[in-house]
Amino acid sequence: MKLLREGARQLGLDLTQEHLQAFQVYYEELIAWNAKFNLTAITEYEQVQIRHFLDSLSCVKALVGSEYLSPAAAEGRGLHLARPLTCIDVGSGAGFPGLPLKIVFPRLRLTLLEATGKKVTFLEHIVERLGLRQVTVLKGRAEELGQMAKHREHYDLVLARAVAEMPVLAEYLLPLCRLGGLCIAQKGSDAQAKVASAQRAIAILGGRLKKIIPVELTGLAETRYLVVLEKTARTPEKYPRRPGMPTKRPL
């Protein structure tokens, strides 16, 4: 896990041997299950470290300078959460970006939301295999969860990676985010243009664009981006619309 350890250090994260062992187990289980369930197209050892693990951990860049990180971060002792945070990973797939962040930040109270049964089964298995606490795996869709009182406007952090186009993604994420909370969407090279096309949707749903952060990872040629939205007003009750509608009729 040399690439992971060195890349994480560039993000301000000092991974312990225990962290690295957890990531090694994660990799081995991912590959074993992938042979049966086709969880990911990325299976080469170094590429999993970069494109899955490091890419997930890069979400920490969106939290630098926020209330969520402790003062210790500024003193060069590695990044730590200032307090327990509620977090939901929407369309988690094989657990990215939520589970790598949970491994490094055990105080994260994590919910993994995934609609595909075989992926839900893997998520339940890997959470148990890694002995992670305060992790909930849910089978369902963001449109449904966003209308449930238990989850609506509940989370400090709402995460998603390559789930949908930005206007659609905004309707998935913002209803789940509490006032003052953050939504972090991981996007590719066209992030700026995609966000521009979603400004109306973001405003309707009670959010605003806080920043777009470029992410350059060692071993990855292309630049990735974190699109960070802040929840500034309550989402109107009619959003999110019923399953499928955000995609069919984007705001």
- Determine the Cα–Cα distance for residues 203 and 234; give it in Å rounded to an integer: 11
pLDDT of 72: 56
The mean-pLDDT minimum among 151-155, 163-167, 174-178 falls in 163-167
pTM of this prediction?
A: 0.94
What distance lies between CA 140 and its chain's CA centroid?
16
pLDDT of 193: 86
Q: Which value, in Å, is the radius of gyration of the alpha carbons in the chain?
A: 17
Domain holding 53: CATH number?
3.40.50.150
* Nearest partner of 178 among 45, 50, 88, judged by Cα: 88
pLDDT of 168: 94
Sign of CA dihedral 225, 226, 229, 235: positive
Inter-CA distances, 75 with 44, 69, 70, 116, 202, Å: 36, 12, 10, 42, 35
Contact status, residue 127 vs residue 36, Cβ threshold 8 Å: no
pLDDT of 179: 98
| Boundaries of domain holding 178 | 2-248
pLDDT, tens digit (0-9, with 9 covering 90-100), for 219-240: 887 899 999 999 999 999 999 9
Q: Work out the average pLDDT over 160-176.
A: 92
- Determine the Cα–Cα distance for residues 228 and 88; give it in Å rounded to an integer: 15
pLDDT of 108: 95
pLDDT of 78 strictly over 70: no
pLDDT of 226: 96
pLDDT of 28 strictly over 70: yes
- Determine the Cα–Cα distance for residues 227 and 59; give it in Å rounded to an integer: 10
Q: Work out the average pLDDT over 125-138.
A: 97
The mean-pLDDT minimum among 62-71, 164-173, 209-218 falls in 62-71
pLDDT of 178 strictly over 80: yes
Number of domains in the chain: 1
